């Protein structure tokens, strides 16, 4: 299983990147860090700078065809930057168009709203996004993790870092763990 983790150059919540990343590796998958710019991305621990991570590919160097699934970590700034980048939004939408599973936590559904892929779906997020999700045609629920299996692709969403265990369990269960490697 090859999984894209899409993040902006700055603002991703570190634990929402690193914990699912490790879970994908532990399940035998290959995570790749995709961003809108090459080089390194700056992660955060809430509002404080945390570690930086090397980008594997940019959204212009890859496509959904290269992956089995997509993870969208949160952080307040991260999805706000991503939803302002047309290439990042198109990258996200292409996973839905291809029927591939997508997982998003915390503020990450903002990017899903921008990609116009929440209409008719049930999902959760950080509570402040519920109006945006409803205005985009989605049904917002206050749950630790929600799995929406509406066609064309499975969507896993979670509210916050405190829900990471449930989010990770859903990702490992729902992603195609027997798919191609590397």
Backbone angles phi, psi at 178, to 5 degrees: -100, 5
Question: Could you state, in order of their start, the residue ranges of all structural domains in the chain?
Answer: 2-174
Q: What is the per-residue pLDDT for 181?
A: 41
Q: Which of 115, 108, 119 is nearest to 159 (CA)?
A: 108
Q: What is the per-residue pLDDT for 177?
A: 61
pLDDT tens sequence across 74-92: 999 999 999 999 999 999 9
Q: What is the per-residue pLDDT for 176?
A: 80
d(CA 93, CA 111): 9
Q: What is the per-residue pLDDT for 48?
A: 96
Active centre residues (catalytic): 106
pLDDT less than 50: residues of the chain: 178-182
pTM to 2 decimals? 0.96
Q: Which residue in this structure is represented by tokens 């008719």?
A: 120
First to last CA, the chain: 7
- Domain 2-174 grouped into CATH 3.40.50.880: yes
């Amino acid at each position: 299983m090859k999984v894209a983790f899409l993040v902006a150059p700055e603002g991703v919540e570190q634990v929402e990147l690193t914990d699912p990343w490790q879970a994908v590796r532990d399940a035998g998958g290959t995570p790749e860090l995709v961003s809108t710019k090459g080089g390194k991305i700056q992660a955060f621990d809430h509002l404080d700078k945390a570690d930086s991570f090397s980008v594997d590919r940019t959204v212009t160097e890859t496509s959904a065809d290269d992956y089995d699934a997509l993870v969208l970590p949160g952080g307040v700034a991260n999805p706000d930057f991503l939803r302002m980048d047309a290439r990042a939004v198109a990258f996200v939408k292409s996973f839905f168009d291809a029927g591939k599973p997508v997982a998003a936590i915390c503020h990450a559904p903002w990017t899903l709203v921008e990609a116009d892929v929440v209409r008719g779906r049930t999902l959760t997020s950080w509570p402040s996004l519920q109006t945006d999700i409803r205005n985009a045609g989605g049904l917002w629920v206050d749950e630790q993790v929600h799995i929406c299996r509406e066609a064309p692709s499975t969507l896993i969403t979670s509210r916050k870092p405190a829900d990471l265990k449930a989010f990770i369990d859903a990702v490992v269960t729902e992603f195609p763990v027997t798919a191609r490697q590397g």
